[in-house]
Structure 1
Amino acid sequence: MWVWALNPSGLEHALARIRPGGVCTNRQTAPEAPSEAVLGDDGRFHLRGSRMLCSIPERGMPEWVALRQGRERPRSEPLAAWRHEAQLRWWVDEEGRALRSASQTITDPNVRELMAVWHVTVPDDAGVDPGSVLLPQRCPVAPAYLWPPTRSTSPIGMLRSRLAQRFGPRCSLCGVLPGSVVDHDHFDGLVRGLLCAVCNTGLESCLHVDRCPRAVYLNDPPAVALRLNYPSARKTVKELRHAERRIAALGFDPFELLRSKP
């Protein structure tokens, strides 16, 4: 209700689309969680579960993309060599000298594009903890949400480590991907749990009261009993103005009791 308070018509349409007893769309597209990172002969570490998760199978697309599009699970290439692809774009000057990487499309005349293809072989030896691999050493093809966060001594990093020790390193919602985001309540600043980047997206847009996995998590966050404060939870003036507008749209303050607490 709070999310939709500034757009009552949108709220009506959303409630009409979501039938009682339904659940939010499952955005989880990863085939499995990586179990280890292995060093390939290209000098990068690659994620491996039952197969190399960052490779391009024979049918021409990563397995996680095929599953997201509802296609049949693609066959894997032989373990001897795993195919990798990466689309490269860079800016050039008038003399054709490369300046920097670019995200613009190839229609920009100052941008050049190249599809890099290479094959990677890895030893059969046991790998290492994916969280111990530094960012420059990680395979650039694997989706970022498959990689655990790097260890950090920052306030967020220390908080993430504490949650992982208490509840485990995986996402508190899907239980599949590595927990990389410290989720918190944006109104009281209390930490709710450790989520993956996929589950954290659009979490608070869930309009279900119960039964939906997102609603169950929001109704009873696993970390709320720890009373941990998010490091930068203090609201800005702009955020407070948005809160005042929503309260006016609702006609009541849903956080009145919370604000009255010492």
Structure 2
Amino acid sequence: MKTPPLIVFTDLDGTLLDHATYDWSPAAPVLQDLIQNDIPVILTSSKTAPEIADLRSAMGLDAYPAICENGAGVMPAGQGAMPERDAYWRLREALDSLPTALRAPYRGFGDMDVEHVASSTGLPLEDAAKAATRAFSEPGLWSGDDQGRADFIAAMAERGVHARDGGRFLTLGWGRRKSDAMAEVLAQYGNPPSIALGDAPNDIEMIEAATHGVIIPNPHRDPLPPLKGEGDGHILREQMPAPNGWANAVSTLMRRYI
């Protein structure tokens, strides 16, 4: 495989997709520019493989792999099969082993019907069904207090399950991060320079690991704390939210490489 001049890793919700409407159309010209200059765009999200497959095709990115469920899985280029779900069912068993008082305030996608997943995400029913088809991880909503949340996270950690705060949900998984999958994909392409863009705590390691990290502001959540690399310009904070901020940041940075 020929090493490209640059590679882009991007979160979706709140980064490339508008947080409320999921619109990405303002970024379409920049995506086309990247494709025409042989710069791979790797969708890197908490979304499931079925969800990402549809978006990847709509964006014209089927020639590139994608990273699903917060780094737990790497989807090959093209339309791949649904991953095995054994890891998900083991996670659900760990969750259901908690004492009732700890378990009750957490409502994961596996505890919801499709209509509730749709109302919680703002997705149409068909898309919500794809979002609920997990292979590695479990997003959910916490309805208890902060102390209960801390106790819940600690109890899951004792069972080998890690909790990460994403753009919308508290997501449970087995510890593999977006940055781990990012390193795997970078190696496939010969470790070219990279841009990584995100808006949420589960994007931090990926942003810090890239040649150029970009924080996209999300008005629907608290801003990310200062990250190492911001002081020397290794990490930038975009001023505009998704998708316009994404388009501006990527367009500016890619000009250094083409």
Q: From the CA coordinates, give the structure whose radius of gyration is larger.
A: 1
TM-score, length-scaled by structure 2: 0.25
| Larger RCO, structures 1/2 (Cα 8 Å, 6+ apart) | 2
Q: Which has the larger share of helix?
A: 2
User: What is the TM-score of this pair, normalised by structure 1?
Assistant: 0.25
